[in-house]
Structure 1
Amino acid sequence: MSFVYLVIAIVFEVIGSSLLKKTHKFTKIVPTISMLISYGAAFYFLALALYELPLGFSYAIWSGLGTALTAIVGVIVYKEVMNVAKLLGLLLIIIGVAILNLAV
């Protein structure tokens, strides 16, 4: 069940990070509250995952996949440009997470 909690934590972290842009410097109340709830849920489910999973392993997956998925949301939702440098950076994050997980 801990892996399910970790996946849920990642989803909420991506939602929260993606909503940051919609808050317009925290002047838009609905996106701001939604972002805060999303981050709260992300940390709650991460804490549940950490009950059984190692911290380094969990945080590497949570932050690495969260970063990569948030970048993809930026491209799809916010029409941000994906270039070779960004793609290479995302691939290096994924490779780094994979290496960390192999060391567990």
Structure 2
Amino acid sequence: MAWMFLIIAGMGEMMGMFFLKLSDGLSKLKPSLFALLSGGLSFYFLSLSLKELPIGTAYGIWTGIGSAGTVLLGILFFKEQVNMKRIFFVTCIITGVIGLKLVS
């Protein structure tokens, strides 16, 4: 279950950043509330995963899921730039996350 909690936490991190972008500097109420709720749930599920997983592994994977996922959300929903450099570095993040999972 720890790995499932960690994946949920990473997805919560992604959603928190997505809603934070929509909140326009926390000036819009609904997206701001969703950002805070998503962030809180992300921390909650991360804390559950830490009962069984090493902190370095869990934190690395959590931030990796959040970072790579947020870049992809930015490309899909906010028309952020897509180029080979961004794709390469997102691939590096994903490769690192997979590597941490394999050695854990």
User: Does TM-score exceed 0.5, indicating one fold?
Assistant: yes
Contact 2:11 2:65 in 1 (8 A): no
Amino acid at match of 2:38: S
Q: Give matches, 1:15-54, under 5 Å.
A: 15-54=15-54
Residue equivalent to 2:98? 98
TM-score, structure 2 length as denominator?
Answer: 0.92
> What is the count of residue pairs matched by the alignment?
104
Q: What is the TM-score with the length of structure 1 in the denominator?
A: 0.92
Kindly tell me: are residues 7 and 102 of structure 1, through their superposed partners in 2, closer, same or farther at Cα, counting changes over 3 Å?
closer
The whole-number CA distance in structure 1 between the counterparts of 2:3 and 2:85 is 31
Query: What residue in structure 1 maps to residue 63 of structure 2?
Result: 63
Identity %: 38
Of stretches 62-71 and 91-100 in structure 1, the one that deviates more from structure 2 is 91-100
Tell me how far apart the structure 2 counterparts of residues 12 and 101 of structure 1 sit (CA, whole Å).
Answer: 19
SS in 2 for 1:82: coil
**Unaligned stretches of 5+ in structure 2?**
none
Q: Residue type matched to 1:41 in 2?
A: L
The aligned counterpart of 2:84 is 84
* Partners of 1:102 and 1:38 in 2: CA distance: 28
Q: Is 1:74 the equivalent of 2:104?
A: no
Measure, in 1, the Cα distance between the counterparts of 2:8 and 2:96.
21
1:6 aligned residue:
6
Q: RMSD value over aligned CA atoms?
A: 1.2
Q: Kindly provide the CA deviation profile for residues 2-56 of structure 1, in whole angstroms up to 9, marking residues without a partner as x.
A: 1111111111111001111111111101111110010000000000010111111
| Cα shift at 1:85 | 0.9
The CA deviation at 1:100 is: 3.4
**Which ranges of structure 1 fall in alignment gaps of 5 or more residues?**
none
